[in-house]
Chain A
Amino acid sequence: MDTIIDFGFVKVTAASETASEVCLVEAARRGDRSAFDGLYRKYARMVHGMLLARAPASEVDDLVQDVFLSAYRRIRTLREAGAFGGWLAMITRHRAYDYHRQYREVVELPDDRSPEAVAAQDAPLAEARQVLAILQTLPQAYRETLVLRLVEGLTGPEIAEQTGLTPASVRVNLHRGMKLLREKLERREAHA
């Protein structure tokens, strides 16, 4: 049975997903903001995950906005409407690269809450950031694919479809990346 894809304002079957995305891109090119919303809904996790694999977590929210604004302004320059995912992935990688080129030291603002309140409220998030920090030490290809899979919840076929990577590459990256990540997590637990 075909999967139902929900763009928020339109539901289509997976069989016609590619055609629908072409429609969304064509409409967005003409200035239809709701169509660009549809593209955002589909690709926001990919962009967030790719940036999370490349930039400090505290900077990623702003970078996601930058990437989509840039894509929104430049969508008329996209030659092939069907190539939106790969094009957006390229913009994302360039934005992460630019970020590191113009790297500025990030200064964390002091937290007004009591240390106990911070610990209680932020513990789950802190745990997630600790694991992410370990994940970020993996080689780039494994890191990106694993963030998309484990953080953003995309499946391997979805990662391939959205980023333009081949399914075989994604599968290898997931398999080898998980192996390396397990080893690193075991080492951390052994030292704890």
Chain B
Amino acid sequence: MPDDYVWDGSGEPDPEVERLEKILGRLRWERPAPRWPARVIRFPRPVLAIAAGVAMTAAAAWVLTRPAQNTWQVARLQGAPVIGEQRLRGAGRLAVGEWLQTDAGSRAQLQVGQIGHVEIEPNTLLRLVEARWTNHRLALKRGEIHARIYAPPRLFFVETPSATAVDLGCAYDLKVDEAGASMLRVTHGFVSFEWGGRESLVPAGAACVTRPGVGPGTPYYQDASGEFREALARLDFDNGGEPELGVILRESRRRDVLSLWHLLGRTGANDRGRLFDRMAGLVEIPDGVTREAVVALDKEVLRLWWEELGLEESGWWR
């Protein structure tokens, strides 16, 4: 087609179009995003609040009493995945309590009720634990999955031998090895990795490792330096201490405050002071956040600082 170049840039370049692109391209929009204002939450007037309360109660009752959806649809993507003891030829259904297994040559896609889907890579073994409207839950014993969920936070859970991944919306990869250790990589939104009261909040672009008996390690951005990540792993899982913290403080960049913030709750008071000082050198300290309050692990102050870091707006899921 003679107009292919103007259509999608393919084909033989049209010299006139190229000349116009060069001239007019000087006017192209190149500005970065401005800082968006924080949202103001307006509380409803009393009458509206009562009406809203009644409606929400009725809706909640309807959701909770609705018959549970006991099976999820499974589609074969490659090879012959197995549900229970049945080889899957095309599509099938996975019932609560049943195992789905892929071998080295098979892959599958699991429809998570009506809220998303999970792609299951080869050599994976997982079980459907719950299939309720308020609790979509898998247990991943080994292997790798890619989850994509379009739903409010805390409706989809994946239990691994060393932590539970709680979806806060909406895409991540999770891998579990034979020893039960897992690696979570979030590609979009946020995931909370939880075990025994220990919680790691993992935003898009970040990852988090877990080990059986220890739970989730400290989340980190995947583009952090190798030294930073290695020191973090030793600190989390190999009795690391002062030398590792020194490396972490030295190697941390502005966005690595994600990791430093998590370490505040996992280190002693002296180290918390050092972490605060490093963070203060990397990001602006918001009004209301003081060194003393952070070292004392004042929850309200930590929450406020977390929100000001802009990694997410925690109000909607906490």
Binding site for B on A (CB under 8 A): 9-10, 12, 16, 19-20, 22-24, 26-27, 30-37, 40-41, 44-45, 47-49, 52, 57, 61, 64-65, 68-69, 72, 81, 124-125, 127-129, 131-132, 135, 147, 149-153, 155-157, 171, 174-175, 178, 181-182
Decide if A23 touches B17 in the complex (CB within 8 Å): no
Residue interface mask B170-197, A partner, CB < 8 A = 1: 1100000000000000011100000000
With CB as the reference atom, state the residue of chain B lying closest to A28.
B36
Cα distance A151–B16 in the bound complex, in angstroms: 14
Given known pairs A32-B313, A33-B310, the reply for A174 and B26 (CB within 8 Å) is: no
User: Could you tell me which residues of chain B, from 231 to 283, have a CB within 8 Å of some CB in chain A?
Assistant: none
Decide if B169 touches A40 in the complex (CB within 8 Å): no
Chain A residues near B23 (CB-CB < 8 A): 124, 127-128, 131
Contact of B316 with A by CB under 8 A: yes
Contact of B46 with A by CB under 8 A: no
With CB as the reference atom, state the residue of chain B lying closest to A49.
B29
Contact of B204 with A by CB under 8 A: yes
Contact of B104 with A by CB under 8 A: no
Decide if A178 touches B316 in the complex (CB within 8 Å): no
A-B contact pairs, 9 of them (CB 8 A): A9-B204, A31-B315, A32-B316, A33-B38, A57-B27, A150-B25, A151-B27, A153-B28, A156-B6
Chain B residues near A16 (CB-CB < 8 A): 148
Chain B residues near A30 (CB-CB < 8 A): 169, 313, 316-317
Cα distance A147–B150 in the bound complex, in angstroms: 35
Contact of B20 with A by CB under 8 A: yes
Other A-B contacts than A23-B189, A156-B7, A178-B17, 18 sampled, CB-CB below 8 A, are: A12-B188, A19-B148, A22-B150, A23-B169, A23-B188, A26-B169, A30-B169, A32-B189, A32-B313, A35-B189, A36-B36, A65-B34, A128-B24, A132-B27, A150-B17, A155-B8, A175-B3, A178-B6
User: Could you tell me which residues of chain B, from 101 to 140, have a CB within 8 Å of some CB in chain A?
Assistant: none
Q: How far is the CB of B282 from chain A (nearest CB, A)?
A: 17
User: Could you tell me which residues of chain B, from 1 to 42, have a CB within 8 Å of some CB in chain A?
Assistant: 3, 6-9, 16-17, 20-21, 23-29, 31, 33-39
Contact of B298 with A by CB under 8 A: no
Chain A residues near B315 (CB-CB < 8 A): 31
Given known pairs A23-B169, A34-B312, the reply for A174 and B28 (CB within 8 Å) is: no
Chain A residues near B31 (CB-CB < 8 A): 44, 61
Decide if B20 touches A174 in the complex (CB within 8 Å): no
Q: How far is the CB of A131 from chain B (nearest CB, A)?
A: 5
Q: How far is the CB of A83 from chain B (nearest CB, A)?
A: 14
Partner among B24, B150, B170, B205 whose Cβ is within 8 Å of the Cβ of A150: B24
Binding site for A on B (CB under 8 A): 3, 6-9, 16-17, 20-21, 23-29, 31, 33-39, 148, 150, 169-171, 187-189, 203-205, 310-313, 315-317
With CB as the reference atom, state the residue of chain A lying closest to B186.
A10
Partner among B6, B171, B316 whose Cβ is within 8 Å of the Cβ of A23: B171
Chain A residues near B17 (CB-CB < 8 A): 150, 178
Cα distance A131–B7 in the bound complex, in angstroms: 20
With CB as the reference atom, state the residue of chain B lying closest to A33.
B36
Partner among B16, B27, B39, B189 whose Cβ is within 8 Å of the Cβ of A129: B27
Q: How far is the CB of B190 from chain A (nearest CB, A)?
A: 8
Q: How far is the CB of A80 from chain B (nearest CB, A)?
A: 12
Cα distance A178–B3 in the bound complex, in angstroms: 9
Decide if A72 touches B150 in the complex (CB within 8 Å): no
Decide if B169 touches A150 in the complex (CB within 8 Å): no
Given known pairs A20-B188, A22-B150, A171-B7, the reply for A151 and B310 (CB within 8 Å) is: no
Decide if A174 touches B204 in the complex (CB within 8 Å): no
Chain A residues near B148 (CB-CB < 8 A): 16, 19, 23
Decide if A174 touches B7 in the complex (CB within 8 Å): yes
Given known pairs A23-B170, A30-B316, A182-B16, the reply for A174 and B150 (CB within 8 Å) is: no
With CB as the reference atom, state the residue of chain A lying closest to B317.
A30
Chain A residues near B189 (CB-CB < 8 A): 23, 27, 32, 35
Chain A residues near B25 (CB-CB < 8 A): 150-151, 153
Decide if B29 touches A20 in the complex (CB within 8 Å): no
